[in-house]
Amino acid sequence: MRDKDLKNAAELVKKAWSFRLKIFLLTSFILALLPALTQNYYILEILIFANIYSIFGASWDILGGVTGIFSLGQALFFGVAAYMSGALNLFFGLPPWMTIPIGGAFGVIVGLVVAVPSLRLKNEYFAIASLIFPSILAGIIFMYPELTGGGIYGLAPISGDIVVTYYSSLLLMLVSIYVLVKILNSRIGLIFRSIRDDRETAEASGIDTTKYKFLAFALSGFFAGIAGGFQAHLLMSVGPFVFDPFLSLQAMVNAALGGMGTIVGAIGGSYLMSFLNEALRSIAQFRVFVFALVMILVFRYLPGGIMRLLAKRYRISLETWSGLKKLRRRENDAINP
């Protein structure tokens, strides 16, 4: 295995991995320190939402960016989980730390149900179909308010203290992103990416693509569900707005702006968009317009998002398969036996 090219490649991989680790640690560090700088309720609340939407964006990314199944109705998982978490809290008195993961489990179930038509539809057509699912649910809620209660009010808050709430959201976000990145780097991530690139070739390579598509939907549903459940408790209420198409759009914009298929990009995208969203509060009626504009500009001028821009700037490879990590280790062993 001794070769100049190989050595250079190992060097590149090494650089990429340590760069990624550094970015992750630095981000966590800065975000963990923020409450020391400001305890402003207003700013912390924006940050909490940014954390929730990081998870939500990453949940879109594992399905859309990594596996290549574009869902335009990500709010479906978010909304169902929000309603379920809310109902479990209100009617059964379960605390948030239990209702949020259970909400995630409902996200998984919905994900698996939605996965079925995705197997029969080509990606473009599935995207169109997925746009409709959350609207159907929202419609049902509007149609039978006596059955669904329309909205659910008076849920238990995450915590009475905004700083505690902030740290809970941060912890949840970092753990979720960490888990998703781990998955992206594992053999499962490798298979997800192969399905995105060419499903037929993956199938010819002996990969049960159906199984892995279901898995991608389950993961996406779970993390979107967690985000939904958290938001329900944060707002202490759930309403049909959780199925809003604008919400689905937000998940997509966050992931695309950060860098599709990178998972971590969702954090950057979400923080940027959250502050932009706040800045636009005075002209709320133009918000959708601005979001759409950002989307167009990103797709046109920055198709890889912020993460890929950084990668280019620092000449690192974003390729993520952890099998390559071994190469680095082996090269190190060869140099210092």
Partner 1 sequence: MQSILEINGICRRFGGIQAVDDFSLDIKEGEILGLIGPNGAGKTTLFNLITGFVKPDSGTVFFKKRNITKLKPHKIANMGIARTFQQTKPFKSMLAVENVAVSLMSKRAKESKNGSDVLEMALKALKRVEVIPPESNMFKLGSQLSHGYTKRLDIARALALEPEILLLDEPFGGLGFKEMSIMNKVIQKLHDEGITIVIIEHKMRELMKLAERLTVMHFGAKIAEGPPREVARNEKVCEAYLGKEGDNLFA
Binding site for partner 1 (CB under 8 A): 1, 3-6, 8-9, 12, 187, 190-191, 193-194, 196-198, 200-209, 261, 317, 319, 321, 323-324, 326-327
Q: How many CA atoms lie within 13 A of 84 on its CB side?
A: 26
- Which is nearer to partner 1, 228 or 265 (by Cβ)? 265
- Which is nearer to partner 1, 161 or 197 (by Cβ)? 197
- Which is nearer to partner 1, 9 or 46 (by Cβ)? 9
- According to DSSP, the residues that pair with 16 across neighbouring strands are none
- Which is nearer to partner 1, 22 or 211 (by Cβ)? 211
Q: Say whether 272 sits in a helix, a strand or coil.
A: helix
- Which is nearer to partner 1, 4 or 300 (by Cβ)? 4
In the complex, minimum distance from the CB of residue 116 to partner 1, in angstroms, rounded to a whole number: 16
In the complex, minimum distance from the CB of residue 327 to partner 1, in angstroms, rounded to a whole number: 6
* Residue 70 CB partners (closer than 8 Å, separation 6+): 64, 123, 124, 126, 127, 130
In the complex, minimum distance from the CB of residue 326 to partner 1, in angstroms, rounded to a whole number: 5
Give the residue among 310, 277, 305, 270 at the shortest CA–CA distance from 291: 277
In the complex, minimum distance from the CB of residue 3 to partner 1, in angstroms, rounded to a whole number: 4
In the complex, minimum distance from the CB of residue 308 to partner 1, in angstroms, rounded to a whole number: 11
Burial of 112 (C-beta count, 10 Å sphere; 0-12/13-18/19+): middle
- Which is nearer to partner 1, 71 or 194 (by Cβ)? 194
Q: Say whether 1 sits in a helix, a strand or coil.
A: coil
Distance (Å, rounded) from C-alpha 203 to C-alpha 212? 11
206: left (phi over 0), alpha (psi -120 to 50) or beta: left
Q: First and final CA of the chain: distance in angstroms?
A: 15
In the complex, minimum distance from the CB of residue 158 to partner 1, in angstroms, rounded to a whole number: 39
